[in-house]
Copies of this chain bind each other. A is one copy, B any other.
């Protein structure tokens, strides 16, 4: 049997490396000389990468292409911007390099996160949690009247993949009218789909616009001043995709003018936003620090996802979350 060398530049903790070592045995785990990065940040280029047939982490894209022995790269995030270029795709295809990501590791947490945003907004939690007032008082009547029910409202989801599909399942009991933007609708989405040409109409009636767009050449500033203006007055914008997909100054303005009622963002550009950034002082702009995919024992979920794929790789079966 071939012995595979698996290079891992993600900083996962000793117990997780132990789990991986046991899971891949008798194959061999190679760790970089210097400490690895987080599961989201690019790791330092390390000689270990060039010995490996398999890499787990976020190795630098150019180094990946120079690593001639490499047959499979599993990216430790759902996003894979640094590999998503025509050049990388072409080179990977030419040499038969398989690339998988970890979207199924984060899909549940991401979908729950944006759903928590939608419900917190509907139930006015940020204001309600800091209001102490008596029943029947003016602030009480205002707060109750500003609270709403998701049931029967309209939502647009930008980007239809694993996370969106799970969100659609979660929203089913609320009987929303859901429209999803998808570049190439397949017809099996279970919700209405539109392509970019027909998006404006859907935006004009949606109460909730949820972006799960990845960062790529087509998505940069996708949420432009024009698209913000197409949204219904009082609509709420949510972003758990990537910060680069939004014209952030235009979003801040829309919130200041009161065109959008609120924005809930788990991603910004850059992260974190610098002091004085217009979104930090925009009214009803709620930001979490890129924690949508986070969950207890995340490194373990990630390792087990890799190990399941590793067994498939060894057995010549199709890998899960394959992106190239």
Residues of A near any B CB (own CB < 8 A):
11, 37-38, 40-41, 108-109, 112-113, 115-116, 119-120, 122-126, 128-129, 131-136, 140-141, 143-151, 169-170, 172-174, 271-273, 286-298
Closest beta carbon of chain B to A124's beta carbon, Å: 7
Residue contact A272 to B113, C-beta cutoff 8 Å:
no
Return the contact of A129 from the options B38, B128, B286, B294 (Cβ within 8 A).
B286
Identity of the chain B residue whose Cβ is nearest the Cβ of A116 in the assembled complex: B119
Q: How distant is the Cα of A108 from the Cα of B141 in the complex, in angstroms?
A: 18
Q: How distant is the Cα of A113 from the Cα of B151 in the complex, in angstroms?
A: 12
Q: Given that A173-B169, A296-B145 are known contacts, is A289 also in contact with B112, CB under 8 Å in the complex?
A: no
Identity of the chain B residue whose Cβ is nearest the Cβ of A274 in the assembled complex: B132
Q: Which residues of B contact A135 (CB under 8 A)?
A: 38, 40-41, 271, 289-290
Residue contact A112 to B294, C-beta cutoff 8 Å:
no
Residue contact A40 to B296, C-beta cutoff 8 Å:
no
Q: Which residues of B contact A136 (CB under 8 A)?
A: 11, 37-38, 40-41
Residue contact B132 to A273, C-beta cutoff 8 Å:
yes
Identity of the chain B residue whose Cβ is nearest the Cβ of A37 in the assembled complex: B136
Q: Which residues of B contact A271 (CB under 8 A)?
A: 134-135
Residue contact B296 to A151, C-beta cutoff 8 Å:
no
Residue contact B291 to A147, C-beta cutoff 8 Å:
yes
Show 18 residue pairs from A and B whose CB-CB distance is below 8 angstroms, ordered by the A residue: A38-B136, A38-B140, A40-B135, A40-B136, A109-B123, A112-B119, A119-B119, A123-B291, A126-B129, A128-B289, A129-B287, A132-B272, A134-B272, A135-B290, A140-B290, A146-B296, A147-B294, A173-B173
Return the contact of A150 from the options B112, B120, B150 (Cβ within 8 A).
B112
Q: How many copies does the complex hold?
A: 2
Residue contact A147 to B109, C-beta cutoff 8 Å:
yes
Closest beta carbon of chain B to A212's beta carbon, Å: 16
Return the contact of A144 from the options B108, B112, B174, B295 (Cβ within 8 A).
B295
Residue contact A291 to B173, C-beta cutoff 8 Å:
no
Q: Which residues of B contact A298 (CB under 8 A)?
A: 144-145
Q: Which residues of B contact A297 (CB under 8 A)?
A: 145
Q: How distant is the Cα of A150 from the Cα of B120 in the complex, in angstroms?
A: 16
Q: Which residues of B contact A143 (CB under 8 A)?
A: 289, 291, 294
Closest beta carbon of chain B to A96's beta carbon, Å: 32
Residue contact B128 to A120, C-beta cutoff 8 Å:
no
Q: How distant is the Cα of A296 from the Cα of B40 in the complex, in angstroms?
A: 41
Q: Which residues of B contact A113 (CB under 8 A)?
A: 123, 147
Q: How distant is the Cα of A37 from the Cα of B141 in the complex, in angstroms?
A: 12
- Top 6 nearest A-B pairs (CB, nearest first) are A144-B294, A38-B136, A116-B119, A128-B288, A116-B123, A147-B294
Q: Please give 11 more A-B residue pairs, beta carbons under 8 A apart, in addition to A38-B136, A144-B294.
A: A37-B136, A38-B140, A112-B119, A116-B120, A119-B120, A129-B286, A129-B288, A134-B271, A143-B289, A145-B294, A147-B296
Residue contact B169 to A132, C-beta cutoff 8 Å:
no
